[in-house]
Structure 1
């Protein structure tokens, strides 16, 4: 089909000035549609990737990505951590983990929070190798001092500042008295604040691991939960399934859960929105491909006599198809190349352009996060080429069915 002669003739038809002005207009419209569709896909996909990446950092960097709990505890948690890291390359760090749902009470307000117990020295050592949140204020957590670190939004809601005292009531460690169940509670001093710029600022608080165990009325020196830090938090499901096999633990003594339990719906909504946006923008390319069909059909009608003459000179039907497939593909490639260039230039200069226009999408001083994914660019290129190639097949097939005798009867 794509012989050198067919390509040269198709290229000549593509370069020649169109006799049919309406066909020329439709061709221009098709090329413009592909150009706009490809450019819009690149810009929007890159921004959505940036927003998803920002959510991954701000939320999944603060909450446990994978937690492994064992009912009878880990005899040597460091040995277990080394075993997991050596077996699963996606794990970049392991630290003891304990946590509970708690209520925080200040002098003016009360709020619910997810309370996490951490070892500051372990978190500090892992900070350079993981994407998890780490604040210098963590160093202020000292075992037995009962200090707590709050998110800035939570501190604002409780109307407390560094140095203030709040009461922490734990959902675990409840004791029963003649008056009914009494929750475990303790006064803590606010020793620091952290800010991730997401909803976890109002839902998360950190205390020392030993203090958390005491608050829940558990042995401070025992480790029955491990927090796994992953190179890619989106691999949490696969990692969680592999952990029980590596530790060879009984199903009733090992419990593995990950961030999807609390935030899976949020990232699922972001993924669906990204896919639906890409689908809608892809329709622009599809409409442009239909315009290529219209333009090529008009070209086939206009060149029927030329095709008949070429066929009498020995040009095969497959070569005739190649002529018009080449012509339509060149139109598509022109729009694709221009769209790629424009999309990449706009994406790389999106924030300066918005700043020059005085547009603040995320608020004053907050730039749009942008991540250009090479695999998405390839998908856009391959998808556009595939759609336009399919669009050229019908006009090309119609041209190949021209009967020279009938076409040249009145010439």
Structure 2
């Protein structure tokens, strides 16, 4: 194929004024459709990626990403801990207690997910420790029975700093002649955290040793480790390696997928479905490319016949019209990419000027533009558009010069 000649002729046809005004309108509609589809796809995918990343940081930074439990106290704790820290994707680990409990205030009662941690490990739960007001994790002192609640949970219990909350745990239940009696203690509220995620409604932190006492276990023993990762999605690749570290000691490993896996799967599915729906706009625009090229083939039948009599091959004729259709796709794609990226980068400012607040007053939409997503959108658009040019190009290649020029 003479690519230079084919490109030149295809470009000339693309630039030439169509004799059929309807064909010009269809071409404009096709370019506009690709432009709107690409721009919308970039904006929506950037916002969805930002929301997913925000959930990942806030939610998975507040709950155990991976938990190691043993029936008996962990032997050779320091040695095993150092081996786990050296595994890939592991940022750190800390002794932890996780139990479901009931929190009772003078006015109401609510279920709570209770975590016991040492204050020295506060930097590992930065998503919580950096959003405590007032106070800090350092206020959790062993034997003082202090507690830090999520903001929504504190409002639900109607308690404020300095007031007491009674915790009842089923893990420390004892049996008496009158029936099972749960373990319970009063804790003083010393801090409230607001992460902006759903953990604010049901998570509480106490000192590790106080949590052990609440569940009627030895405060000095450790049979549960909380592992922190640089990427929570890597939990599955670590399980076998962690089991090897514990060798013969029986261990159970759970991760965030058991509690929040379906939630993140729903967010990911929503992201994919939105992308699929917006991709249909590009698909419709591709059909318009077919329509405009078919009209162009009819309009240029005589020109094609003359070119074929001059020795232009079938492949070259197809190339002329495929190039012409590709120019339409490239024009719409470039415009869509530029406008989509610009709007995404300035989306919160644009919404502010328009007086629109999607997440509420004072909150902005998280926007994350991923380079590989832009690449996929660009390649996908060009591929769909190129496929759309095949049928009109084949129709042009089938033009017979004798029949086309018979009445000229």
Q: For the superposition of Structure 1 and Structure 2, which TM-score range results when normalised by the shorter chain?
A: over 0.9
Match of 1:46 in 2: 46
> How far is 1:197 from its partner?
1.2
Alignment of 1:318-397 (within 5 A): 318-397=315-394
Q: CA deviation at 1:159?
A: 1.1
Cα pair 2:122 2:129 within 8 Å, conserved: no
- 2:192 aligned partner: 193
CA deviation after TM superposition for structure 1 residue 80, in Å: 2.1
Q: Give the match for residue 266 of structure 2.
A: 269
Give matches, 1:163-178, under 5 Å: 163-178=162-177
SS at match of 2:51: helix
- In the TM superposition, residue 162 of structure 1 has moved relative to its aligned partner by 1.1
Aligned residue runs from structure 1 range 4-43, under 5 A: 4-43=4-43
Which residue is 2:112 aligned to? 113
SS at match of 1:175: strand
Question: Deviations for 1:53-75, whole angstroms, at most 9, x for unmatched residues?
Answer: 11112211111111111222322
Does structure 2 retain, via aligned residues, the 8 Å contact 1:151–1:200? yes
The match for 1:312 is: 309
The normalised TM-score by structure 2 is 0.96
Q: Distance in 2 between matches of 1:31 and 1:214?
A: 69
- Deviation of residue 2 (structure 1)? 6.3
Does residue 159 in structure 1 map to residue 158 in structure 2? Answer: yes
Conserved 8 A contact 2:80-2:245: no
Tell me if structure 2 keeps the 8 A contact 1:57–1:132: no
Q: Give the whole-Å Cα distance in 2 for the aligned partners of 1:14 and 1:180.
A: 86
Distance 2:97 2:8 in 1: 71
**What's the CA shift for 1:226?**
1.1
Cα displacement (A) at 1:338: 0.3
Distance (Å, rounded) in 2 between the aligned partners of 1:26 and 1:332: 13
Q: Cα 1:226–1:348, aligned 2, differ >3 Å: closer, same or farther?
A: same
CA shift digits 1:232-268 (9 cap, x unpaired):
1122233335422444346xx1111111111112111
Q: Would the aligned equivalents of 2:128 and 2:194 in 1 still touch at CA under 8 Å? A: no
Separation in 1, partners of 2:35, 2:240? 44
Q: Match of 1:87, SS?
A: coil
Change in Cα spacing, 1:200 to 1:8, as seen in structure 2 (3 Å) is same
- Correspondence 1:193-342 to 2 at 5 A: 193-249=192-248, 253-342=250-339
The question of whether the paired residues in 1 share the 8 Å contact of 2:290 and 2:391 is answered with yes
Give the ranges of 4+ consecutive aligned residues of structure 1 lying more than 3 Å apart after TM superposition.
130-136, 245-250
Q: Is the 8 A contact 1:95 1:123 kept in 2?
A: no
User: Structure 1 residues 28 and 213, CA, compared in 2 at 3 Å: closer, same or farther?
Assistant: same
Between Structure 1 and Structure 2, how many residues are aligned? 405
Cα offset for 1:47?
A: 0.6
1:363-397 CA distance string (max 9 Å, x none):
11111111111111111111101100100011111
CA distances 1:167-216 after superposition (whole Å, capped 9, x unpaired): 11111011111111111111111111111112211110001011111111
User: Runs of 5+ in structure 1 lacking a partner?
Assistant: none
Q: Which of 382, 395, 399 does residue 396 from structure 2 map onto?
A: 399
Structure 2 distance, partners of 1:241, 1:290, is: 50
Contact 1:117 1:212 in 2 (8 A): yes
CA distance in structure 1 between the partners assigned to 2:386 and 2:297 by the alignment: 16
Using structure 1 for the length normalisation, give the TM-score.
Answer: 0.95
